[in-house]
Structures are given as structure tokens and as C-alpha cells.
């Protein structure tokens, strides 16, 4: 079982990895593409189709997570970020 300190270190490294990945010109292009594909700036609601609404919200959650990770304050990473073990 990883210690709290190890988990914090792993989370900080994961955040740095996200930042490095999306800071390059290629990463910025991918981020823009994901933003469009995941519907970052549009409503998730699909009139009369709760399943499509749920699907849309799930896709949007992905880009919002990436945005949170690349703008995270490394001095205080949140406990909600996880690292696969």
C-alpha cells in the first residue's frame, strides 16, 4: 500500500505529465480537437433523449478533467486526482 506522501508525489507527477503533454504545439492542437469533440463549450442536453444527454455529459467531463489537470496549482494538488496503481 502506497503511503500518503507517495500518492501525493504520484499525483504531482501526473499533473506535470498532463501539463507537458498539452503544452506543446501538437498538444494544443489535440486539446482544441478534444474540446470540439467533447462539447466543452456547448450544452449537453439532448431534448427527449436522457441517454444522449448522459453520454454527452460524460464526453464533456473528459475535457473538463484535462483542463483542470493542466491548470492545477502544483503547490496544492487536490485529493480527487487519482493515479492508477
Instruction: Give tens-digit pLDDT for 47-64.
Output: 999 999 999 999 999 999
Overall pTM > 0.85: no
Cα separations in angstroms, 28 against 22, 33, 34, 53, 77: 6, 9, 10, 27, 23
Residue 76: inside a domain: no
What integer pLDDT is reported at residue 76 of this predicted model?
74
Residue 75: inside a domain: no
31 burial class (0-12, 13-18, 19+ CB within 10 angstroms)?
middle
pLDDT band at 85 (very low <50, low <70, confident <90, very high): very low
- State the total domains in the chain: 1
Residue 31: inside a domain: yes
What integer pLDDT is reported at residue 2 of this predicted model?
78
Residue 41: inside a domain: yes
Structural domain harbouring 55: 4-70
pLDDT tens-digit readout, 17-31: 999 999 999 999 999
Amino acid at each position: 500500500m502506497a503511503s500518503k506522501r507517495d500518492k501525493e508525489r504520484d499525483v504531482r507527477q501526473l499533473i506535470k505529465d498532463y501539463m507537458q503533454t498539452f503544452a506543446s504545439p501538437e498538444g494544443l492542437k489535440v486539446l482544441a480537437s478534444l474540446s470540439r469533440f467533447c462539447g466543452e463549450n456547448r450544452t449537453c442536453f439532448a431534448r427527449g433523449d436522457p441517454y444522449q444527454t448522459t453520454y454527452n455529459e460524460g464526453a464533456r467531463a473528459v475535457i473538463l478533467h484535462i483542463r483542470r489537470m493542466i491548470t492545477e496549482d502544483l503547490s496544492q494538488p487536490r485529493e480527487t486526482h487519482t493515479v492508477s496503481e
